[in-house]
Amino acid sequence: MKFFVDTADVDAIRELNDLGMVDGVTTNPSLILKSGRDILEVTKEICSFVKGPVSAEVVALEASEMIAEGRKLAAIAPNIAVKVPLTWDGLKTCKVLSSEGFMVNVTLCFSANQALIAAKAGATFISPFIGRLDDINLDGLDLIGDIRTIYDNYDFKTQILAASIRSANHVKDCALIGADVITAPPAVIKSLASHVLTDKGLEQFLKDWAKTGQKIL
């Protein structure tokens, strides 16, 4: 399973990238706002050191404008994935841009049928939002499972990019279900290394070590 980082915070991406943990990056208008940076400038900087797909999202609502925005974003670097919302105009944009050879990430997916139609429109990635479904008492992971089954039934090549990941358990469950990619905030990716028994065990080892009076260096 590939790891994408869901942020436009360049320092946070660099830290994970140096550890080889970054297979790609996703951004959205809210994350650009949070970064306080210009979208073209920050996206270019991210693409200068991340080798995998970097998603940059269009903000127009009408297809011809979305296509123009998508082409401009795609011109930033060859590894840009143009992110479009799962609307009818977004699907038209997906079809045009993917036919032109650009990667397209269809975002804001909340149903299996939306994922099906995005695959038909040539999406490179489909982004189902787990956390936001959980927020309204629906099961985001069920959706990932349904999409996995549908895509496998018909051998669709669209990659399932599980998004709106809020916890380490979401990551584990996506891996068990067989999502192709997860995109998660840096803090969630870092939390995968944590376990309370690791902390407790280390504390005890260090206490006992101190009693030996020994040093390694």
Q: Which is nearer to ligand E4P, 17 or 28 (CB)?
A: 28
Say whether residue 164 binds ligand E4P (CB under 6 A).
yes
| Torsions phi, psi for 184 (to 5 deg) | -140, 155
Residue from 2, 14, 132, 190 binding ligand E4P (CB under 6 A): 132
Using the rule CB under 6 A, give the single segment among 13-21, 128-136, 187-195, 206-214 that binds ligand E4P. Answer: 128-136
Residues 3-22 that bind ligand E4P (CB under 6 A): 6
Minimum distance of ligand E4P from residue 139's CB (angstroms): 15
Cα–Cα nearest to 66, from 92, 48, 40, 46: 92
Residues with catalytic roles? 83
Q: Restricting to residues 82-121, which ones interact with ligand E4P according to CB under 6 A?
A: 107
CB proximity list for 141: less than 8 A, separation 6 or greater: 130, 170, 173, 174, 177
Whether the Cβ atoms of residue 86 and residue 112 lie closer than 8 Å to each other: no
Q: Using the rule CB under 6 A, is 52 a contact of ligand E4P?
A: no
Q: Is residue 35 close enough to count as binding ligand E4P by CB under 6 A?
A: no
Dist. CA 53–CA 22, nearest whole Å: 10
Is the separation of the CB atoms in 169 and 175 below 8 Å? no
Binding site for ligand E4P (CB under 6 A): 6, 26, 28, 107, 127, 129, 131-132, 163-164, 183
